[in-house]
């Protein structure tokens, strides 16, 4: 077998041929995933191993070397008593795959089964299966049916052992995959020449770099773009970018007037010119009924793929921590918090402690995004006896993100309205850099999940709990300081 092409390379090339080339020839230019993001991705991949429980008697091809795995696979295919094969290694016409699951069907046919985390069918899943279907058929296997196996979002954990057969939903996607095979195979034909190029294909970064996944070469490919390159501003819709690009407008300084331009872009343009924040004349009105007195609230959640607590479902958000800074009429502030133990379902204790802390007044509660509102709505469904009290808290929430987006832009936002960009930009000296162990929500999720799963020593758990408290408190302090900064800008 000469040079071969892997399914991973093909999927990368379907997004962007340059990505496939860089992954093969210059992988060091990829931006490494943060450990917490890698842990979340690994948890998703672990779903594939859990689905093995659906195929009793199946045999795993566990040789990492492809040639050895291919020999083992051929032996298993020929052994009629083997009901299914995990990680079958197949090659056809220079393309190699490792199929998640091949299920032996009557009449010498096979079922191709692919396990994906998540709960919905995506085009990238169908492309993935179309590549596999092409290789398997080319290698002489009759593929009678193709299924995508995903977690069933309606499965509710009853407690005790997880019911694996009910946790996973098996969707027949045979027709949808067959439809995609010709296009995928057609695009495959150009790939060997692309990968054999001396230099990477010159493809300009654009919104395609985030679809279906954020490309790991984004920082590398955009390293020479000027600071006012419009795509540095996140959340740019692809069609809007295409219009701007067609008009020759790729930098903020290319914008000649506010006509037909999203306000956020025009404000960013003005901030670039002035070197300081741009504030709308309506900011004071937007802040008028937000206190003080006022509370500042932030939640942390986990979303386990496999439900951990009775009564929960796959990927359902489980809030485990809240932080609340309170500023009274006199301007003094206090801090209140809750952090669950994690060994049991934390939702009731989370809700009851939050209600005890907030039910004595009608003061507004400032949050950043609609995340807290969504979590409270979900809690109300899960805890019907507390629903009306939780709803009373929910209607007091006011979203500071909406106000910042609509009224303020600072050059140091660098196109992002995340709290971790906005608060340090508007509050000199404020930041997150001094925090140990937990720096963002992904860190908090991963480390709390480790605590809940008893994966930490008691010393590490003590250290992580302190870090979780410090991180969540920093977020509500950020809201408080940001609110101060906005009020100062509004006068």
List residues binding ligand SF4 (CB under 6 A).
15-16, 18-19, 22, 203, 205, 209, 215, 217-218, 221
Q: Smallest gap, in angstroms, from Cβ of residue 31 to ligand SF4?
A: 10
Q: Of the two residues 61 and 244, which places its CB atom closer to ligand SF4 in the complex?
A: 244
3-class DSSP state for residue 349? helix
Provide, rounded to whole angstroms, the least separation between the CB of residue 236 and ligand SF4: 14
| Shortest separation between residue 250's beta carbon and ligand SF4, angstroms | 14
Tell me the closest approach of the beta carbon of residue 21 to ligand SF4, in angstroms.
Answer: 8
- Judged by CB, which is closer to ligand SF4: 213, or 362? 213
- Output the DSSP codes for 65-100: SHHHHHHHHHHHHH-TT--EEEEEEEEETTEEEEEE
Are the CB atoms for 151 and 117 separated by under 8 Å? yes
CA triple 29-35-36, angle to 5 deg: 130
- What's the closest the beta carbon of residue 18 comes to ligand SF4, in angstroms? 4
Nearer to ligand SF4, 163 or 235 (CB): 235
To the nearest whole angstrom, how small is the minimum distance from the Cβ of residue 449 to ligand SF4? 30
To ligand SF4, the closest distance from the beta carbon of 32 in angstroms equals 15
Contacts of 180 (CB under 8 A, 6+ apart): 126, 127, 130
Question: Which candidate, 349, 477, 361, places its Cα nearest to that of 424?
Answer: 477
Nearer to ligand SF4, 128 or 443 (CB): 128
E strands, 173-314, in order: 278-279, 294-302
* Whole-angstrom Cα Rg for the chain: 26
- How far apart are the C-alpha atoms of 353 and 388, rounded to whole Å? 15
Output the smallest distance, CB 214 to ligand SF4, in A. Answer: 9
CB of 216 to ligand SF4, least distance (A): 7
How many angstroms separate the CA atoms of 305 and 117, rounded? 8
Return the number of the residue (240 or 333) whose C-beta is nearest ligand SF4.
Answer: 240
Q: How far is the CB of 241 from ligand SF4 (least distance, A)?
A: 13
CB of 355 to ligand SF4, least distance (A): 46
Nearer to ligand SF4, 209 or 489 (CB): 209
Dist. CA 85–CA 81, nearest whole Å: 11
C-beta of 16 vs 167, nearer to ligand SF4: 16
Angstrom distance (rounded) from CA 448 to CA 442: 10
Cβ nearer to ligand SF4, comparing 14 with 425: 14
Cα–Cα distances in angstroms (integers) from residue 303 to residues 29, 91, 154, 326, 357, in the given order:
31, 37, 14, 28, 25
Judge residue 455's burial from the number of C-beta atoms within 10 Å of its C-beta, 0-12 exposed, 13-18 middle, 19 or more buried: exposed
Enter the tokens of residue 209: 């770099």
Structure tokens at 208: 């395609």
- Least Cβ distance, residue 3 to ligand SF4 (angstroms): 21
Determine the distance from the C-alpha atom of residue 101 to the mean position of all C-alpha atoms in its chain, rounded to a whole number. Answer: 26
Nearer residue to ligand SF4 within complex by CB, 221 or 283: 221
User: Residue 6: is it exposed, middle or buried by C-beta count within 10 angstroms (0-12/13-18/19+)?
Assistant: middle
95-104 and 5-6 as β-strands: parallel, antiparallel, unpaired?
Answer: parallel
One-character DSSP codes across 125-187: HHHHHHHHHHHHHHTT--EEEEEEEEE-TT----SSS--HHHHEEEEE-HHHHHHHHHHHHHH
CA 356 to chain centre: 32
Q: Could you count the other beta carbons within 10 Å of the beta carbon of residue 373?
A: 15
Looking at the Cβ atoms of 182 and 212, the one nearer to ligand SF4 is 212
Complex with ligand SF4: residue 119 or 225, whichever CB lies closer: 225
CA pair distance 413, 402, nearest whole angstrom:
15
- In the complex with ligand SF4, which residue's Cβ is closer, 217 or 266? 217
């Amino acid at each position: 077998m000469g040079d071969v092409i892997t399914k991973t390379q093909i999927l990368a090339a379907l997004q962007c041929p340059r990505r496939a080339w860089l992954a093969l020839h210059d992988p060091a230019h990829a931006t490494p995933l943060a450990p917490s993001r890698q842990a979340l991705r690994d948890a998703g991949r672990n779903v594939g191993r859990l689905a093995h429980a659906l195929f009793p008697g199946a045999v795993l091809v566990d040789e990492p070397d492809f040639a050895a795995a291919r020999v083992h696979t051929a032996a298993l295919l020929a052994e009629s008593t083997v009901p299914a094969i995990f990680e079958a290694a197949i090659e056809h016409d220079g393309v190699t795959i490792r199929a998640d699951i091949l299920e032996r069907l009557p009449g010498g046919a096979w079922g191709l089964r692919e396990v994906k985390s998540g709960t919905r069918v995506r085009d990238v899943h169908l492309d993935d299966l179309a590549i596999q279907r092409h290789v398997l058929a080319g290698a002489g296997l009759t593929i009678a049916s193709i299924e995508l196996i995903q977690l069933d979002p309606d499965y509710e954990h009853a407690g005790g052992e997880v019911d694996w057969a009910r946790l996973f939903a098996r969707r027949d996607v045979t027709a949808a995959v067959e439809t995609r095979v010709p296009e995928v195979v057609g695009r495959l034909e150009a790939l060997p020449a692309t990968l054999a190029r001396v230099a990477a294909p010159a493809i300009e970064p654009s919104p395609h770099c985030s679809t279906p996944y954020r490309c790991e070469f984004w920082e590398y490919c955009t390293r020479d773009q000027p600071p006012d390159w419009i795509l540095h501003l996140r959340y740019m819709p692809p069609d809007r970018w295409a219009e701007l690009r067609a008009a020759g407008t790729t930098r903020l300084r290319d914008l000649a007037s506010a006509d037909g331009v999203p306000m956020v872009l025009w404000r960013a343009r003005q901030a670039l010119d002035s070197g300081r924040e741009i504030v709308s004349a309506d900011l004071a009105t937007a802040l008028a009924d937000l206190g003080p007195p006022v509370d500042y609230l932030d939640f942390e959640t986990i979303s386990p793929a496999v439900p951990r607590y009775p009564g929960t479902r796959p990927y359902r958000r489980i809030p485990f921590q809240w932080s609340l800074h309170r500023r009274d009429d006199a301007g003094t502030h206090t801090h209140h918090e809750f952090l669950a133990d994690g060994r049991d379902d934390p939702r009731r204790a989370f809700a009851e402690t939050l209600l005890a802390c907030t039910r004595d007044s009608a003061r507004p509660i400032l949050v950043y995004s609609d995340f807290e509102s969504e979590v409270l709505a979900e809690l109300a469904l899960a805890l019907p006896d507390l629903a009306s009290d939780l709803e009373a808290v929910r209607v007091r929430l006011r979203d500071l993100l909406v106000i910042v987006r609509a009224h303020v832009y600072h050059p140091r936002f660098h196109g992002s309205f995340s709290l971790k960009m906005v608060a340090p930009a508007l509050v000199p000296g404020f930041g997150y850099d001094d925090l140990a162990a937990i720096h963002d929500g992904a860190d908090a999720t991963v480390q709390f999940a480790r605590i809940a799963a008893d994966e930490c020593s008691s010393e590490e758990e003590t250290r992580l709990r302190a870090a979780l408290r410090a991180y969540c408190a920093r977020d509500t302090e950020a809201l408080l300081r940001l609110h101060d900064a906005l009020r100062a800008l509004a006068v």
